[in-house]
Amino acid sequence: MCQQSPCRPLTSPMTSMRGVRLVSHRAMSSCPSAAIGYSTSLADTMSGCPSTAIVKSTSPAVTMSGCPFAAIVKATAPAVAPKVREIVDDFYPRMFSNSPEAKAFFNPANQFKEPPLQRMALANAVVAYATSIDDLSKLTGALEIIAHKHCGLGVKPRHYSIVHQNLMESIGHVMGDAVTPEVGEGWSEAVLALAKNLCELEAKLYAESAGRRGGWKGVKDFRVAGTRRVATDCVELTFKPVDGAGPIDFTPGQFLTLHLHKQGSTPRHYTVTNAPGKDYLQCCPKLVEGGFVSSALHGMKEGDVVGVSAPFGTFKLSGRPAVLCSAGVGATPMKCFLDSAPEQVKFVLHIDRDEAAHPFRKEMEASSAGTHFHYTDAGGRPEAAALVEGALKPYLAECDFFLCGPPPFLADMSAALKAAGARSIHLDVFGPALAQPN
């Protein structure tokens, strides 16, 4: 349970918007949210609760009672949505300036490289939350992914106060006078409610992780016990806990989070590639050109020490017969599935540049599952529909499909599988999962 004190700032949400002038152009008799003025003029005379009609026109299921914060957010979402990228572009520099410690949670590549995936993910999350606030069950899967990643990073309830403070300032700065005190309070309460839900979910995940065999909470030191090159630019690292505790349980498909003891590094998530129940954890980082963390990991030697957060993540087998489809370093969860539940895997499809770049090819070939490998240097980029028709069609009726790889691969393969009638498709997304709109 998230305690109220760390999740809610000590100041009121309106006074926390430093330097932002919050002006209500008209006195509202009962519903101040109408002052956002996206479909009526701010100068119009308001009476009663005009935003009720606006909300009902877009979502008949919404009901109002004294204009609670959910109704205000829903009513003003069309005004905020076009400005949300400006809001998040203001938010991150503001937060890093006001709270430099927050930088430790963010991969700089996702912040500043085009496209800025982390900023896009937050922008999409804000829009999704605002438009679905009357039925948050639509966001359950997305919130679970966020919570698992937060646990790997070590996010605590107090960090939500930092986000809330700076996000509200950015909303006020970008939206200007449209943010009346009442509208600002509605959005503030909505952000706090979301933070409370995440705090509670993360507290549960932390407890479950610590309670597993070999589990722990927070960051624990592990020693490099071995390195193995499995492809041209991929090295599998083996880590054993410094305190010798083991074996370690987790759900196949989950990721560990590495915290390097190096100045300037930020945490990174990597899929665990070994089966549960061992006295070690393995992962397989791909060398990224110019990547500070991946270069450091590829330079590690036996005996080096690194901080590790316990495994988290929502990608897992369903218990039904499975087909594994991967591209590039997306082979990593597939290797874990093959080690953990070989009897469930009926077929493995993998796409890569060439045979030398293919991680865990030998493990895939040694399994009892059927295989199809396609190398783009020799055969060009394959059409997803052709792969489904030529290799996967016999498995559409009985199998669940598990996909991991670059976003274009995920989009193309999932679309082709759906079109062919696949009944269940599961995606594992590397990087901010919400960076791409649905």
Question: Which member of 92, 129, 160, 206 is catalytic?
Answer: 160
206 is catalytic: no
Residue-wise burial string across 318-334, b where 16 or more C-beta atoms lie within 10 A, e elsewhere: eeeebbbbbbbbbbbbb
Residues in contact with 183: Cβ distance below 8 Å, sequence separation at least 6, in sequence order = 32, 33, 35, 36, 72, 76
C-alpha separations of 18 from 102, 115, 165, 169, 425 in Å: 19, 30, 9, 7, 46
Q: Answer for the pair 184, 14: CB distance below 8 angstroms, yes or no.
A: yes
268-271/281-283 β-pairing = unpaired
144 is catalytic: no
Question: Which member of 169, 185, 202, 236 is catalytic?
Answer: 202
Q: Answer for the pair 173, 201: CB distance below 8 angstroms, yes or no.
A: no
Beta-bridged to residue 228, according to DSSP, are: 236
Beta-bridged to residue 256, according to DSSP, are: 270
Q: Given the structure tokens 């829903």, which residue do they identify?
A: 74
400-404/425-428 β-pairing = parallel
Beta-bridged to residue 351, according to DSSP, are: 327, 374
Residue-wise burial string across 254-288, b where 16 or more C-beta atoms lie within 10 A, e elsewhere: bbbbbbbeeeebbbbbbbbbbbbebebbbbbbbbe
Q: Given the structure tokens 């988290």, which residue do they identify?
A: 312
Q: Which residues are catalytic?
A: 160, 202
